[in-house]
Structure 1
Amino acid sequence: MKRIYVYLHLICFLGLGCSVNKSGSDKNNATTGGEQQVSASAPTVSYSNPVLAGDYADPSVIRVGDDYWATATSSEWAPLYPLLHSKNLVDWETVGHVFPDKLPAWADAHFWAPEITYDKGKYYIYYTAKKKGGNLCVGVASASQATGPYTDHGPLVCQEVGSIDAFPIRDEKGELYLVWKEDANSVRKPTPLWGQRMNEERTALLGEKFELFRNDPNTWEGGLVEGPAIEKRGDYYYLFYAGDACCGRACTYGVGVARSKSIRGPWEKNPANPIMQKNAEWQCPGHGSVVKDKDNRYYFLYHAYNVNSFVYPGRQGLLDEIKWGEDNWPRFENRSPSITAKAPHNQNRPEELNVREEFDKNVLANTWQWSVTEAPKYTLQKDNGGRLLLQSSPNKIGSILGQRTKMASYTATAIVDQRSVSKDAQAGLTAIGDPDNALGVALRNGEIILWSVKGNKTNIIDRAPAPQGTAIQFRLTTQKGDQMQFAWSTNGQNWNSLNKGQAVDGSYLPPWDRGVRVGLTAKGPVGGSVAFDRFELMHQ
């Protein structure tokens, strides 16, 4: 939801009155062309948070030359760990994934908190995942290009209660260390941040681990500290971290910082902590990383929940400049997330929030997602206007192709070719929390059904006879994140409401750590396929 504000400083200075002009097209209209050209006399351009709309928790960012690269948590959605590119920290594009077509061989769930770094000509991704048959571990993958392909090197550290949120750092002698969190809050114990030497190949830790610090339960930190991000400035290493409950409706997250002249400590926590807390627009800010631009300005890319849409889009990516006081402690303006701020590179293109997919390209857009438990099989037929053949699955809610929702209110539509839906198959438009919790409208055995799955239990809410014809259109209209109305049409103009036009409550959909996706599902015997002609997701 970036918006461009132009401030006419010269007019204000001359006392001729001030005006604010929102330039560019509406936030939901696509733009074309390259970066904006900025001259010395150009007016100041600002942006509005989020810079990463939708579910982009635990973001990490680096700068290599003129390019910024970022990634974020995937959780239980594949492909794993989006790779995002920007020239200005505000306009981001998904250009690939760390693991685009399969999971790491050693892991099976909870793909959290990737940290992207660049060192001596190589890119590294330190990530959290659950080891098969075990607990949470920190793994690492590397590539010679930011976009990959990445080679996985397996897990580096796996403690009994779990190891998460890794961050690499070199000390004043150039020796390489790994810092991570022991996930002891999972067993109601304190959460130390540990450090340990690491070999240059990033395949093993060396020597003995040492503690940097841990949470103080009698302060704002509550039950945990996590998400360390370390930046060297002057004589000090500054460790930015998050404290207390990260996620869901009961979240209490905030941002703190500690400093030390040595990686091994002693570490001094800022007496002014937390240096960032909630405000009227954003709540539970935290778990980010620091990046420095060419002008030596420092920025923090992190996540927070929007107060109005809250858990439904998930934890969204925000950007704020870090200021430095005379006491050499970092701070944020108003100790809270910014609503609008000056664009770092004085650039900001209007953002495209919506999805319009005709399936007329050779590949699907990088923004499509599916469950880590089952990768869908599909074929794109780009001729004759394009269509998607999605193979059916008998498991859970079937094969899934979903898109992140980015606001609390949106309308999604999809067109299904009735002739492609075989007996006992079910295909349609679905709002998805996970494969055990979903809500949708579908065609099945000559009927249109409005269905829900809650805790893996299926319920048919309403049904209607399917009309004769080839194509049928489904529509989902969502308000406030959880009020979902469903309808169908044969022409896209005259709509027939289901459930007597009453909204269905979708408040149960979001898992504790994820937002809602909306997309296409196909359930049925193995070997069958369903044809989709179009998908749209329009945010309001």
Structure 2
Amino acid sequence: MIVSWVGNDAHRGGKDAEFLTEKPVARGRLFILRMLTLFAAFIMASASLLAQTDGTLSSPIIPGDHPDPSIIRVGKTYWTTSTAGNWAPEFSLYRSEDLLHWVSAGAIFQHTPEWADRDFWAPELVSDGGRVLVYYVGRKRGGGLCVAVATASTPDGHYEDHGPIMCQEDGSIDPAFARDESGKPFLIWKEDGNSQGKLTPIFAQPLAEDLIHVAGEKTQLIVNEPESWEGGVVEAPYIMRHGGKFYMFYAGNACCGTGCKYAEGVARADHLLGPWEKDPANPIIRPNGAWKCPGHGTAVHTSQGKDVFLYHAYPTSGFAFLGRESVIDSIEWDAQGWPVVNQGRGPGTLRAGVKLAVGMSDSFPGTKLDGEWKWPIGHEPDVQVASGALTLTLPEGASQSFVARTLLSPTYKATVEIPAEGGVGLIGGAENDVTLSRHDGKLELWSVERGQRRSLWTMDAPAGALWVSVASMTPGEAGFSYKIASGAWIHAGETVNLKGLLPWDSGMRIGLVVDGKAGDQASFRQFLVTDQAAK
């Protein structure tokens, strides 16, 4: 099903984040003037709760958890995908004609590639030579993190997976593609040294002409400077050309979770293999009152001849529980030839007049599950959609099974009708969730943390059709309730603290859950999520 992201206004706001500043490299009066200009712009952005866009763009482009985004333009159509983490089907696709209105377009992989079992990160879309490639990260079964590649004839076509092409001992992540000054193709990536307490170099290595095999020797382009704003990490390279030079956008510092310190920097070179010079004004994208920890993006040249940058950031409202949203801003070029994103004000926000859907509904029409529903990799559910109902059957060897969707706003209420058995839950992952469900004549609120189930509240279940709900007005807390027919909502247990369920690298999800023994079934009708703050 194609879902258009147009609807109610989103709500943003919050407190500024702090940053280490890089030690400046003297460049005379022009450098000092540029630093003062950028500093003034940063202060102006920090003073405002909502940093504005350039008036033609709007952020987030799609509500919810869509980190490490990549974007390409094929003809007049833009395509984007983002990190899947440990959720399948991997790498959701969206398309747009104007960068404002996006519709879902399936996923790159309908089935998890056999060579990997988790950590599907940082897909990089490439349109080159009349075909589309996606370089991506996965964790090899029984091994480490690798860069792999898949190809298709069109962005929404069938992708043929070619498996891993770069697997270093410390891990290889965050791939990108570039051609050097002579047109020779290169794979660009980060060696994941920080996972082993080491420095994190970004490398380039030639690709064969088929673009799916590496050739030659690797060359280090840049490495993190631990005493600077970069801290223990540089990663997420993206290389573009402008004015005869190569520009590498890259992210630095801690990416994820409540302790993140992410930001975006840039370096430039006359030749792809260097030497590379980092911008003394780094980081060029910093947090502001609306967004935290911005970084990891891709540029695209628009059909109007402008450069824009798509990257992710945490909304200050909802923060880690909502996840990292995809934001977009304009790139301009200053007198010294350095890029300036959104005039140095940090990530922009919703364009005036643009409305963003922060609610969702599914009446389960037809016979196919909507593509926005996901499940943990290795835990594919037994799903049937028919006659306006979703039915989940519990597989052998499982104590619970579910499908889940990303949150779209920091305040929400999700409701669903349960004709017989089943429940609604907030999902952190395959072994972390809290659920209110009816099963074997009982209505029970229970949680699973690291695979260990604990009952929080229980009662004899009412007979007949039942509606259950989960709602949150405060990030990190949620309350569950139930009702029968046209009756009033009744609280089920006490407010639940969600901090122990939160993944380190993604937001929470709303799930429909079946539990019990193998073969047990749960059916669901009329799933609805509303934004509580919009009321």
TM-score tier by shorter-chain length is 0.7 to 0.9
- Tell whether the 8 Å contact from 1:430 to 1:441 is kept in structure 2 after alignment: yes
Conservation of the 8 A alpha-carbon contact between 1:450 and 1:463: yes
Q: How does 1:235-384 map to 2 (within 5 A)?
A: 235-333=244-342, 335-340=344-349, 350-382=355-387
CA contact (8 A) 2:120 2:137 kept: yes
Q: 1:432 aligns with which of 416, 427, 430?
A: 427
Which of 469, 473, 476 is matched with 1:482 structurally? 476
Query: Structure 1 residues 198 and 339 mapped into 2: Cα distance closer, same or farther (>3 Å)?
Result: closer
Identity of aligned residues (%): 37
In 2 relative to 1, CA 67–449 (structure 1 residues): closer, same or farther, beyond 3 Å?
A: same
Query: Are the equivalent residues in 2 in contact too, given 1:143–1:149 (CA < 8 A)?
Result: yes
Any residues of structure 2 matched to 1:10-49 within 5 Å, and which? Answer: 26-27=8-9, 46=56, 48-49=58-59
Alignment of 1:136-175 (within 5 A): 136-175=145-184
3-state SS, counterpart of residue 390 of structure 2: strand
Q: Deviations over 1:227-251 (max 9, x none)?
A: 0011111210100000010000110
1:449-488 equivalent positions in 2, closer than 5 A: 449-469=444-464, 471-488=465-482
Answer yes or no: is the 8 Å Cα contact 1:320–1:337 preserved in 2. no
1:118 aligns with 2:100: no
Distance 2:351 2:443 in 1: 50
Aligned to 1:190: 199
For the Cα contact (< 8 Å) 1:79–1:99, is it kept in 2? yes
Q: Who is 1:53 aligned against?
A: 63
Aligned to 1:390: 392
Query: Residue 100 of structure 2 is aligned with which of 90, 96, 106?
Result: 90
- Give the deviation of 1:301 after TM superposition: 0.4
d(CA) in 2 for partners of 1:26, 1:103: 34
Distance in 1 (alpha carbons) for counterparts of 2:85 and 2:521: 28
Q: 1:369, 1:402 within 8 Å by CA — same for their partners in 2?
A: yes
Cα 1:148–1:492 change in 2 (3 A) is: farther
- How many Å separate the matches in 1 of 2:370 and 2:231? 41
1:390-422 CA-to-partner distances (Å, cap 9, x unmatched) read 11136565211101002221001111121xx4x
For structure 2, the 5+ residue unaligned runs are: 1-5, 11-53
Match of 1:104 in 2: 113
Taking the aligned partners of 2:366 and 2:530, their CA distance within structure 1 comes to 20
Contact 1:396/1:456 (<8 A) preserved: no
CA contact (8 A) 1:395 1:523 kept: no
Q: Secondary structure at the match of 1:311?
A: helix
SS class of match (1:508): helix
Query: 1:408 matched to which residue of 2?
Result: 410
Pairwise CA RMSD of aligned residues?
1.7
- 1:43-97 CA-partner distances (Å, limit 9, x unpaired): x965542112111000000111100011000001111001110111122111111
Which structure has the higher relative contact order (CA within 8 Å, separation 6+)? 2
Contact 2:396–2:519, Cα closer than 8 Å, also in 1? no
Give the structure 1 partner of residue 38 of structure 2.
none
Cα distance between partner residues in 1 of 2:349 and 2:271:
36
Cα pair distance change 1:144/1:122, threshold 3 Å: same
Contact 1:407 1:481 in 2 (8 A): no
Offset, 1:351: 2.6
Q: CA deviation at 1:335?
A: 2.6
Contact 1:393 1:523 in 2 (8 A): no
Match of 1:33 in 2: none
Residues 394 and 523 in structure 1, CA contact (< 8 A), matched pair in contact too:
no
Give, as a single letter, the amino acid of the residue that structure 2 aligns with 1:27: D
Unpaired stretches in structure 1, ≥5 consecutive residues: 1-23, 29-43, 422-426
Q: Answer yes or no: is the 8 Å Cα contact 1:432–1:439 preserved in 2.
A: yes
Quick one: distance in 1 between partners of 2:99 and 2:397? 40
Q: Does the 8 Å CA contact 2:399/2:517 hold for their aligned counterparts?
A: no
Q: Match of 2:15?
A: none
CA 1:26 to 1:514, structure 2 compared with 1: closer, same or farther past 3 Å? closer
CA distance in 1, matches of 2:128, 2:88: 27
Instruction: Tell me which residue corresponds to 2:488.
Output: 494
Name the CA distance, whole Å, in 1 between partners of 2:185 and 2:103.
31
TM-score by length of 2: 0.87
Cα deviations by residue, 1:435-484 (Å, 9 ceiling, x for unpaired): 22111100121010011112221111111111122x11101111222221
Query: Is the alpha carbon distance of 1:523 and 1:245 closer, same or farther for their aligned partners in structure 2, counting shifts above 3 Å?
Result: same
Q: How many residues align?
A: 484
Contact kept? 1:397, 1:521, Cα under 8 Å: no
1:535 alignment partner, one of 506, 513, 527: 527
Look up the equivalent residue of 2:362 and give its one-letter code: E
Name the counterpart of 1:16: none
